[in-house]
Structures are given as C-alpha cells and as structure tokens.
Amino acid sequence: MPWGGALLASILQNTLNALQWGSFYSLIALGYCLVYGVLLLINFAHGDVYMVGAYIAFFVATFLLASGGLPGWVVLAVTVPITMVLTAAVGVTLERVAYRPLRRKGAHRLYVVVTALMCGIILENGNLALLGAASRAFPELVTTTVFSLGDVKLTNLKVAVIVVAIGSFLILETIVSRTKIGMAMRALSYDRFALPLMGIPPDTVIVFTFVLGSSFAALAGLLFAMSYPVLDPYMGAMVGWKAFIAAVVGGIGEIRGAFAGGFLLGFVEIMVAAFLPSTFRDLIAFTILLFILWMKPTGLFGVARFQKI
C-alpha cells in the first residue's frame, strides 16, 4: 500500500478512536457543566457518580441476564433506563445529604466544593469496602461486530457511543434552551435570590439539575463499561478529573463548551498517543489545554460574565 494511503487510513481510524474516547469525556463534562452552571458548584463527586453508574449498570445487567433468558439487546434496553434512574437517585441523594444542608446554612461555596471532593472519596472507598478491590467484567450484551471500510475498522459499539454522545448533547441543549424547567435553570443561574420571588422553588430546579447530570453520567458509565469491560472502584477518578478540565476548557457553564471540550481532549489524547510516544500524551494534551486557557481564560465558548449558563 502506498505510504499516503496508510497514513490517511491511520488518521481516519484514529479520528474514530478519538470520537469514541471523547464521547465519554463529553458525557461526563456535561454533568459538571450543568451543576456548575446552575449552582456555581464544582461537583467533584461527579466522576465517582459516573463510576457508580457503571457499577449499577453492571449489577442490573448481570441480574437481568441471570434471572430470565432475555436476549442481550432487551437486557440493554431495560438496563439503560434503570441505570439512569438509580444513578440519578444517587446524585440527588448526594445533593440532599451533602450539599443542600450546607447551602441552607449559607456556607461559602468553597466548603461545598470540599464536601463534593469528600463525597467522591466516600463513594470510591464505600465501593471498595462493599465490593472489594477485585475488578469486575461487564457482560457482553450485544455482540460486537467489526465492520471494515477499507483499512478503517468500525464496530457497532463505537458508532453507538458516538451517536449517544451527540444525541445527549442535543437533548440537553434543547432542555436548557427550549423548556420551562430549562428556563428556570437559567434563571437560577442568573439570580438565585430573585427566583423564589417569582414563585419558582429553587430546590426543585436544583434537584432536576442533579437528575440530568447524574443520569447522563450513568449513560457514560454504561457505555464505558460496554467498551472497556473491566470495572474497578477508581475508574471514575482520573476520567472525572479530565472531564472536568475539558469542561473548563470548553467554557464551564456552557453546554456547547463542555461537549466540544470533551471531544477536544479525547482528540488530542488519541492523536498524541498515535503519533508520539504515549508518555507524552498527558504532557502535550494538557499543555495544549493550558495554552487555550491562557489565550481565552473563559474557555472556548465561555463569555466573561459573573454568572452564566
């Protein structure tokens, strides 16, 4: 094969790889972004909510597979909503137990952020204590089929991940900009004191925000578990941090920004690993992100203002 063709195939293949990898960052970054947009709270437990989502998906899927002779795709179709609901419940519980009492007492945001960090560590270690350190294998629900387009290989899973990420972005964007509750979220972000005066209960809006963020983290966890089927309690920590950085680079508080930031980070990571030694990956990826922030401190899509969504 001519050198040019091989290079092109390799670039195309890695673009697909990057789209898949970036999808996870995007889905998680969306959750950071929603909560930050509404509460100005960096919910550091979000990466671990995503981990919990992956584990819930694991237990739901294994339970369904074991209990009835359902075909894989039915199990998947049932697992998705159950996982999203249960993980949303975890996210809302965190809000109820950890963040809301502090908010009520008028604690500074810094304390809430530290609380979020601790919640993340509690989730990780709670999982470790409950389920042990052994990794778990996610069952194969849908047979992975490999399609070849010339030298470029696609799998049904890869396509599904990318489609779900883009779909989630469109849904969230619509909810926030076109619906009443979305309008309430934006209103809360602009002026949290004026909102109750207008007869809108802020707590409902906040709970809804956590439901949205956590259920999309659950979706990310489920897809991740299907693509990289070994689960461990610390799987959310690093991915969560990186997704947070992606959200900041995209312009935290902007849904478009989180989405683009996630894909940008995925793209840079894969391309660096593809064409340079992998040890340079994080070094170069984060140097690029630092450079972007240096040029535009509000992030790619961020607008400099006091509060935003």
Partner 1 sequence: MKRYAWLIPVLLLALIGFGPPLAAAEDVIKIGFNIELTGDIPDVGEASKNAAEYLKNQINNAGGFDVGGKKYKLQFIYEDNEAKAESAVSAAQKLITQDEVLAIVGPQASKQAVPAGEAANNLETPMISPWSTNPNTTKDRPYVFRGCFLDPFQGPVVAKFVTEEFKAKKAAVLYDIASDYPKGLAEFFKAAFEQMHGAGSIVAFETFTTKDKDFSAQLTKIVASGAEILFVPQYYNEVPMIIKQAKQLGWTKPIMGADAWAGGDLMGLCGDDCKGHFFPAHYSNVGAKGETKQFIDNYTELYKKTPDDVAALTYDAIGVVLAAIKQAGLTGKVKKDRTAIMEAMGKLKDYPGITGTMTFKPDGDPIKCAVVVKINNEGKFEFYKSVCP
Give contact residues for partner 1 (rule: CB under 8 A).
Answer: 6, 9-10, 13-14, 17, 20-21, 134-137, 140, 144, 146, 148, 151, 153, 155, 157-158, 224, 228-230, 232, 234-235, 238-239, 270-271, 273-274, 277-279, 281-282
Give the shortest CB-132-to-partner 1 separation in angstroms. Answer: 12
Q: Look at the alpha carbons of 63, 65, 69, 71 in this order and tell me if their dihedral is positive or negative.
A: positive
| Smaller CB separation from partner 1, 12 or 175 | 12
Give the shortest CB-16-to-partner 1 separation in angstroms. Answer: 8
Give the shortest CB-35-to-partner 1 separation in angstroms. Answer: 25
Question: Can you give the C-alpha Rg of the chain in angstroms?
Answer: 20
C-alpha count within 13 angstroms, C-beta hemisphere, residue 173: 14
| Smaller CB separation from partner 1, 9 or 207 | 9
Compute, in degrees rounded to 10, the torsion defined by CA atoms 63, 213, 16, 296: -160
Amino acid letter, residue 177 = S
| Smaller CB separation from partner 1, 134 or 295 | 134
| Smaller CB separation from partner 1, 156 or 177 | 156
What is the per-residue DSSP string for 156-178? Answer: HHHHHHHHHHHHHHHHHHHHHHH
Give the shortest CB-295-to-partner 1 separation in angstroms. Answer: 26
Give the shortest CB-149-to-partner 1 separation in angstroms. Answer: 11
Whether 302 contacts 252, CB under 8 Å: yes
